[in-house]
Amino acid sequence: MSETRRLVVAGHGMVAHRLVETVRKLDTDGQWRITVFAEESRPAYDRVALTSYVDGWDAGALALPGADYAGDPLVDLRLGDPVLAVDRERRTVRSASLELGYDALVLATGSVPFVPPVPGRDLPGCFTYRTIDDLDAIRAAVERSGRGRRAALVVGGGLLGLEAAKALRDLGLSPHVVEMAPRLMPLQVDDGGGGLLKDLITELDVTVHTATTTERIEADGDRLLATLGNGTELDLDLVVFSAGIRPRDDLARGCGLDVGPRGGVLVDSSCRTGDEAVYAIGECAAVEGSVYGIVAPGYAMAEAVAAQLLGGQAAVQEPDTSTKLKLLGVDVASFGDAHARTEGAREVVFADAVAGSYQKLVVDADLTLLGGVFVGDASRYPLLRTLVGKPLPGDPASLLAPSGGGGVGVDALPPSAQVCSCNAVTKQDITTAILEKGCSDVASVKACTRAGTACGSCVPMLGKLLDSCGVQQSSAVCEHFAFSRRELFEIVQATRITTFGELVSKHGTGSGCAICKPAVASILATLGNGHILDGEQAGLQDTNDRFLANIQRNGSYSVVPRIPGGEITPARLKVIAEVAEEFSLYTKITGGQRIDLFGATVDQLPLIWRRLVDAGFESGHAYGKALRTVKSCVGSTWCRYGVQDSVGMAIELELRYRGLRSPHKIKAAVSGCARECAEARGKDFGVIATESGWNLYVGGNGGTTPRHAELLVSDVDSETLIRTIDRFLMFYVRTADRLQRTAPWIEELDGGLDHLREVIVDDRLGICEELDAAMAKHVDGYADEWRGVLEDPEKLARFSSFVNAPGTPDPTISFRTEREQPVPVLLGVPEVRT
């Protein structure tokens, strides 16, 4: 055995841990004794998933396996003891606690957040967004700010800035994002993708300010006042700087090593500096002058250095800089030459603003894929990213069209296609793990190959490869529950659990996420668990449900009172007009025969509700996954063709099913004759009058995939009709997947519509009595959610733009007049008059 040598690693982030892990794996003879000097007080953790820390404040959930090196006598991890200086002549490093010699030194000091030189950036209430400690400090500041409507500013609209905005949103604040470029994520997406991204982000209660800067930050009592370059002033609880990173190269500068033109320890393709005993990896390294701020190149650097330390030769190849972000359900991805900078590059774009999707492929004249951008719908990203540099297997337009796909699937990928760019895992690696090593689910594939363990964007591909290899997939809601939504419903119903915390502690793991929390919130609401803003339930709700109103693109809200069947008295119509005038609201009659009132600020919502509730109105549930409307024609009461009272039936159905929480929104209609003026067959359930009764159609919808409903029962009387709809809705609520509309739910039932008819008409499963009782319980237990807020001072306190100044209007919300009505002014968006 050769003499043991000393390896010193300065820094202990994800890349440093990968280095130590790889050296220990390869060093079977124990050639190297490793000392790691870590600046933070905890071992390396998953910084890529930092935003998820807000979900449960469990630092252990971010821990990297084995990062404490417990029981390894050849690794000494020194937490909270960073390297302060390097003496290259003596080959020693000095920390606060000791001086230590080295045979090889690896600088893995990472980066520091870039804080623009904004006056006031050092004031209390200003934070950076980089570490667990940063998030703990932000959380403490939020808790000190009290309850009610709170606001925060994120300086930077790139990848890190949007991650910070998500964390702040999850903390209950209304974030403003300021980006000096004309679009969000300017390095990753183009103008078209950036425009849609801004719209989608705005819908999530995040106000976006592009093409401007933060000019100054001032203390205003115990709050902050930020002034933007366009003159906008923001009253804030806190400011978070997340405007990019800068390589931490101070150790290199201090010991005379060369640095890159834009910072970073200058290294060659093998990650070696000008000193043969010193390497640099990760975000502090400038590989032949280029610095990379994502984890995949860092891992490649770590493995290259590990190979050299053990006597091999290795170099870092041109890294894959593809990125994928998911922000509260908004997918953003880019890969390759996303901006078509290659000579001769051509762009193929498919944009659907209605569906909220922007997709672009960049190809050359021979249809070789060069890159792409996806916003809103990134389902094709995992497959197409692996084809960069290869001829496309089909016409580019067909690969992007909704009904397309061009035959592209995992089977079309060559074995050498890199599925996981973070860990350089190929399709062959994954299929080998499945077919030869017995991996039978995504978790085991991740453990075996490391695929999907960094950014996670390739995880959907792992599922598809399992399917391709003939392995049946789990229907689990998410990683925190090993159950489908249907199974969770049954668990909650059987155990009478009333809180998410109890459910996840007894039947799940971790602290939950943005997928399972709203799903469980819907289940709890369906089973009659009180007001949705009671206690813990308030924090489980989606954005709109938190304020019982739909947020609009300028940060204001819409108010939609229920108008069953579209029938309204002149007196109530007058109240709506008076409310609209008093609060300067935009009014519009909808396709669901209701009147929408747009432009209310959050503090105005209870005032508007009070006027409406006193006049006999209630919430129309336009914000929730619940019954929206039951549309109707005038039927036999007025129409000479009508054969039944469609208005009366529509009103009865809407009042019966109002407030019913479900996997997705539900729309319905009743037509008084076969002429179908209410468009009943385009609804989740539709009723059409006949001479002898009613026909019931189910499983229709509009949206991105319009579908006609199918006939379930015909010529039934009113009692049978209502009983059948009761059972249809309760069976759907109990068994559908999260966010699954009735049409795909019926299609996925084993036996489809025929099976549905057997269950709810013929009672083949013997559950109809139970379904009837469940609907009766819902009808008897209904309570208006608006009234529930008005009668509870604690809930009312949530409805304030600024907690320390109740009633103060949000200065970022403004309007202009168009067609004699107020419409929103969107900062950075050119005004278009019609």
CA–CA separation, 388 vs 383, rounded Å? 10
CA–CA separation, 384 vs 392, rounded Å? 9
**Residues written for the chain:** 834
Structural Rg of the chain based on CA atoms: 29
CA–CA separation, 148 vs 763, rounded Å? 49
CA–CA separation, 281 vs 291, rounded Å? 10
CA–CA separation, 671 vs 677, rounded Å? 6
Residue 284 is assigned to a ligand binding site: no
CA–CA separation, 312 vs 316, rounded Å? 13
Which of 194, 117, 198, 129 is CA-nearest to residue 160?
129
3-state helix, strand, coil in the chain (%, to 5): 35, 25, 45
Q: Which residue has the tokens 């960094």?
A: 454
Residue 167, judged by CB atoms within 10 A of its CB (0-12, 13-18, 19+), counts as buried
CA–CA separation, 512 vs 521, rounded Å? 12
How is residue 714 annotated by DSSP?
E
Record the tokens describing residue 31, joined without a space: 């050639």
Q: Which residue has the tokens 């396996």?
A: 65
**Residue 145 belongs to what H/E stretch?**
none
Record the tokens describing residue 25, joined without a space: 């794996």
Residue 633 is assigned to a ligand binding site: yes
How is residue 597 annotated by DSSP?
E
Q: Are 627 and 538 in contact (CB under 8 A)?
A: no
Record the tokens describing residue 131, joined without a space: 């570490």
**Alpha carbon 91 to chain centroid distance?**
48
Residue 253, Cβ neighbours under 10 Å: how many? 12
Residue 677 is assigned to a ligand binding site: yes
Record the tokens describing residue 645, joined without a space: 């009272």
| Binding site, annotated residues for [4Fe-4S] cluster | 633, 639, 673, 677
| Binding site, annotated residues | 633, 639, 673, 677
| Binding site, annotated residues for siroheme | 677
